[in-house]
Amino acid sequence: MTDRIVLAYSGGLDTSVAIGWIGEATGAEVIAVAVDVGQGGESLEEVRQRALACGAVEAYVADARDEFANDYAMPALKANALYQGHYPLVSAISRPVIVKHLVKAAREFGATTVAHGCTGKGNDQVRFEVGIQTLGPDLKCIAPVRDLALTRDKAIAFAEAKGLPIETTKKNPYSIDQNVWGRAVETGYLEDIWNAPTKDIYDYTATPEFPPAPDEVIVSFKQGVPVAIDGVAVSPLQAIQELNRRAGAQGVGRIDVVEDRLVGIKSREIYEAPGAMALITAHKHLEDITIEREQARFKASVSQRWSELVYDGQWFSPLKRSLDAFIDDTQQYVSGDIRMTLHGGQAIVNGRRSETSLYDFDLATYDTGDTFDQSQAKGFIELWGMSSKVASTRDQRFAGK
């Protein structure tokens, strides 16, 4: 029986050419796997037909938009996940769901190998292959660009020689990856980190310099998950899509950062994540009134480690699973409403309410009705500073000896 290879298929030039390229290099049949995580563009049926026209023996397509929003974007939201304090893990959280479908297709079609279109320079090769090794330890992995010398000029020449039904004459200077959680742009003009991004880079966001009138929105959460916008019930996917539209129109969610890649180099990245950044902002402010102080402080360190694990391709790792359990526990009382104004590139929270809030007006107020017993403060301060006071007394006694 002829060997079969499952290929993560986007429908673009490189992965379309990779179908025939892999076949010629390995003698194997290729099954193309396309997964819709909200990247927009062509329909899955159009992508499926192109894969077959380019030589795939089978084409597996999956509408995973709700799955991605529910099972991947929502955990990132609960974690307030921002790698290095900036990046909302746009590409990093999409790779595990694609891996899941790649392994599923490999089982369904009897493939022994999984292929992806990553280079040897980026993070995604790690995310794909570590995920595949974890879910399908018996499966092998190959990367045509990295392992089979499939460069862009060779891809164009191959496509033209074979008459493949894909556009080969236009060359976008940027590398772009997008899904419903956001959009990532790199390479080309951006590799000089002194160069400011040009207007043509952006697609999910309007320029914030000339915004429309301010847009006030109320986001309702239940246990850390958005369930309504302005009182209208929404699914996680609908919440992201609605805030992509409204926050994007205000230029919210533009990120320009030089980040530390897993492979050891620094890389300049431009991100657009209007819905993600608006939701993370709202969620964090709701946590501020519903999560106890020490729990919140510890969660901040957990969120950082969670973000690093996911960025580094460890979505399916035991540690990440354990951190998920902690994060889920913290969300028990993260329910309520956040009101914020979207305007000029910013999402500004200006109202909070929750039945499970820890904010006590009578304890916080300085006006009549204050129930905080200020007489307790003096003794508290004495005890709180006791260890430092004792240490300082010792230090002064031995100073100069």
Known catalytic residues are: 14, 95, 124, 175
Nearest to residue 86, comparing CAs of 264, 258, 262?
A: 258
Dist CA 383 CA 280 (whole Å) = 37
- Is 16 known as a binding-site position? yes
- Is 392 known as a binding-site position? no
Q: Are 146 and 118 in contact (CB under 8 A)?
A: yes
Q: Token pair of 217, please? A: 């929105």
- Is 267 known as a binding-site position? no
Nearest to residue 257, comparing CAs of 197, 172, 298, 347?
A: 197
- Is 329 known as a binding-site position? no
- Alpha carbon distances (Å) from 367 to 351, 361, 362, 378: 21, 10, 9, 21
- Is 259 known as a binding-site position? yes
- Is 9 known as a binding-site position? yes
- Is 248 known as a binding-site position? no
- Is 94 known as a binding-site position? no
- Residues 6 or more apart in contact with residue 209 via CB below 8 angstroms: 251, 344
- Is 313 known as a binding-site position? no
- Is 15 known as a binding-site position? yes
- Is 13 known as a binding-site position? yes
- Is 271 known as a binding-site position? yes
Dist CA 291 CA 79 (whole Å) = 13
Q: Spell 362-398 as b/e; 16+ CB within 10 A means b.
A: eeeeeeeeeeeeeeeeeeeeeeeeeeeeeeeeeeeee
- Is 83 known as a binding-site position? no
**Cβ burial, residue 77 (10 Å; 0-12/13-18/19+):** buried
- Residues 6 or more apart in contact with residue 356 via CB below 8 angstroms: 290, 333, 334, 335, 336
**Cβ burial, residue 400 (10 Å; 0-12/13-18/19+):** exposed
How many CB atoms neighbour CB 23 within 10 A? 17
- Alpha carbon distances (Å) from 22 to 10, 17, 32, 164: 15, 9, 12, 15
- Is 175 known as a binding-site position? yes
Annotated binding residues for L-aspartate, written as ranges, equal: 119, 123-124
Annotated binding residues for L-citrulline, written as ranges, equal: 87, 123, 127, 175, 259, 271
Annotated binding residues, written as ranges, equal: 8-16, 87, 117, 119, 123-124, 127, 175, 259, 271
Annotated binding residues for ATP, written as ranges, equal: 8-16, 117
